[in-house]
Amino acid sequence: MANKQDKAELEKTTVTAPKKKKKKAVRRIAGVVFIGMLTIGLGAAGWAAKTGYTMYEQTDITKLSQEPPQSLRIYDANEKLITELTNSRMEYIPLSDFPENLKNAIIAVEDSRFYEHGGIDFKGLSRAMYTNLRNGDVVQGGSTITQQLAKVMLFSSEQTLERKVNEAVAALKIEKNYNKNQILELYLNYIYYGRGAWGIERASQTYFDKNASKLTLAEAALLAGLPKSPNVYSPLNNIEKAKERRDLVLSLMAEQGKITAEQKNEAQSEPIKLTDKSSLAATNKYPSYVDHVIEETLSKTKMSEQEILSSGLQIYTNLDPAVQDAAEAVYMEKKNFPGDKGGLQSSVIVLDSKTGAIRGLVGSRSDKREFRAFNYATQLQRQPGSTIKPVVVYTPALLAGFKPQDLINDVETEFGNSYKPGNSGQRFHGWVTMETALMQSYNVPAVALMKEVGIGKAMDFGRKAGLPLEDDDRVYGLALGGLKYGTSPLVMAQAYTMYANNGKLSKAYAVSKIVDRSGNVVLQEKPQTNQIIDANTAYTMTQMMQKVVTDGTGRSARIKYPVAGKTGTTQLPDVAEFRTGSGKVINGMKDAWFVGYTPELVTAVWVGYPVTNREHYIPSEGGTLPGELFAKVMSGALKNRPVIAFQPPKGYRLAGGKIQRINGEEDKLYASADDSSERRRSSGKTDSPIKKVDRADVSPSPTPAATPAKNGDTAHKPDKETTGPSNNKGNGGDKNDSEGSKDKPGKDKPDKDKTDQTDQDRPGKEDDSSSKEPGKPDKDNGKDKPVVTEPVKTPPVKESGK
């Protein structure tokens, strides 16, 4: 019996043992899994904590403590404010300047638990998640005011999980470093409210034309409702939605005990009265001048545009309101620009002759006042025509010993390899004085005189006078304004200061002083002058240029004040677009200039089209327009000033001595144009008709470095600044307009087909290998006259005339 029991017990034990072992194994596995999961969880939590701490430490919130932007203030020469500009998106004001209703409205709709959470409102976030899940859409946000501030000031607007995490971490750090009022102040100043307005102050001005401190409860509630979706709830876009949003904000304020039910009802019944002031910068009364002030400040301080416009600078300028207002008044009147075919441009700049201070500037005729638009007074690059003659021809000639009464033979003349500049209508005038040649803007005498003095000396002096001359400008066409790139009214006016300032060149400048927001002087400018010619030469040039205005090509510039100056125009290019049915070039011009001065002011005027084509060019009678504009601007600018005459320097005497003859003396310094013209000179008959060359033989070449322009701005009737087309080779206008419809505003385009010529092929290129310096007296022959060095062979050159 016992054996049976033992056997049964044994069998039971045998069956139970595997089951227990299996359970123990499961428990062990479960334990391992639990321990593993716990380890992973703790590890993940540790990793998360470590990662979060690292993110917290690396989050940079220093941008919140940066100085808020301040607007730029610009003052005139009398230290009166003329404009206030900024590129800042907001106008910063302290929290104390905001009304309580405005602060309460913002908190009510954006973050009702603002004063309770520490940057992240977990309770509000949970509520928002539940509400959004229940509605199947995002109808409630969980971001706090602190998080929104972090988003706007520290991060991009991209919708990513990473940005959301960074935003939350930054909010915690902001709360640790700033108190609630500081956070709210930053928020109210930096959040976007639509219509280009950042911050409540700008929004208040934009929508209601008032400071934020003057907002009513209803207006404050309307603005408080905008940050959620400025475009959707803007009252300027949808008045009904804006009203619904406003009333919601008012209801929330009442529910939270910020206002009474009576106040809510009263505010909700208030009609919305708006004003649209999207352009928030102060009125810019003098846009061209202000644009140049910005450009000059950029150049002289190396500051960025953003720094200039938003760092609270005060810039003091040389603007004279009397001069600037006179110029603005003239350029506002469309009747002052007759013959405008649409888009005619013009510019004027007025300098103080003694200091170079820019007293007035109008950079265009545009009705649109765009910030830093193209300035035709300072940024233009166009051929100056004959306004260059005083600088590169007649002043160097006086310095070389020539006199106004010296004679130059105005006859058809070849200056090497068929380069034959001509005058209007191919009229030549025989022997004329230097003074008459300048007064009537004859072209042949100008080229002959420059050749006599030396192109090298002309180039050197032109550069000394501030002209932007390139090595490729070393051509005879330089005498008539044939430059590779052209120049601006500012540069020309600056060059002429030497005549009004007793030989001292006055550097043009607009900015006199810059002061930063702390009162520190950043820049202090003083007049910069340089004696480049003697006072006697300057006064002699002034006397000659006074006759240009009284009796020559510049009569349209006459006013009751003494004026000296020079006209200039550039011809249309000799291309098919500008030819008539008979093959002649239209009697018109591309550019028209006048540069003139009184004892006090130097003024340069330019007129032309940004793009010259068959429909847009200056007709022949338009050559007098710059002089007329000069007269109107200067009459207004000098209206309340006494009449002052040009004063000769002490001990001044006009140079005397033997009359020198240029271009046709017996020793034949120049080759004659042809045998018949030589016979006419020998017999004294210099005004008889001259053989003409068919214009069809002249090919267009707008690139001065290759083949400067052909149709010169030639002199003809003394009372008219008009230049007709010439049939003479080398007679042409502005050399950069090969395809009139293709040129860019302000800068002429080279002709790509003409840029492969060698230096030897360039027009009028002077032979530097000569053993004699051009213009230097020949001591060996005992004659007191310049020795002329013949240039190498040159192709035709296009020149600008008077």
Please give the positions annotated as active site: 110, 386
C-alpha to C-alpha distance for 415 and 795, rounded to whole angstroms = 10
Structure token pair of residue 647: 């004063």
| Residue 7, helix vs strand vs coil | helix
Q: Is 78 left (phi over 0), alpha (psi -120 to 50) or beta?
A: alpha
Q: At what angle do helices 100-110 and 145-154 cross, to 10 degrees?
A: 90
* Cβ-proximal residues to 669 (8 Å cutoff; 6+ apart), any chain: 452, 662, 663, 788
Share of the chain residues as helix, strand and coil, in percent rounded to the nearest 5 = 40, 15, 45
Helix (H) or strand (E) holding 33: helix 2-58
In DSSP terms, 75 is beta-bridged to 81, 316
Q: How far is CA 115 from the centre of its chain?
A: 50
In DSSP terms, 362 is beta-bridged to 348
C-alpha to C-alpha distance for 701 and 708, rounded to whole angstroms = 6
Nearest in space to 396 (alpha carbons), one of 802, 786, 792, 800? 786
Q: At what angle do helices 180-190 and 100-110 cross, to 10 degrees?
A: 90
| Residue 662, helix vs strand vs coil | strand
Q: How many residues does this entry show for the chain?
A: 802
| Residue 428, helix vs strand vs coil | coil
Structure token pair of residue 174: 């902001």
DSSP 448-510: HHHHHH-HHHHHHHHHHTT----GGG-SGGGGGT--SS-B-HHHHHHHHHHHHTTTEEEPPBS
**Residue 38 corresponds to which amino acid?**
L
C-alpha to C-alpha distance for 570 and 589, rounded to whole angstroms = 6
**Residue 338 corresponds to which amino acid?**
P
Structure token pair of residue 218: 């209803």
CB 552 within 8 A of CB 439: yes
DSSP 687-747: SS------GGGPPP---TTTS-B-B------TT--------STT-BS-TT-SSGGGPBTTB
Strand-pair category, 521-524 with 564-571? unpaired
Q: What are phi and psi of 409, to 5 degrees?
A: -85, 115
What sections of 552-666 are H helices per DSSP?
Answer: 625-637
Helix (H) or strand (E) holding 513: strand 511-515
CB 798 within 8 A of CB 477: yes
Helix (H) or strand (E) holding 605: strand 601-608
Helix (H) or strand (E) holding 359: strand 358-362
C-alpha to C-alpha distance for 385 and 483, rounded to whole angstroms = 9
Tell me which residue has tokens 């830093």. Answer: 372
Structure token pair of residue 611: 């793009």
CB 119 within 8 A of CB 147: yes
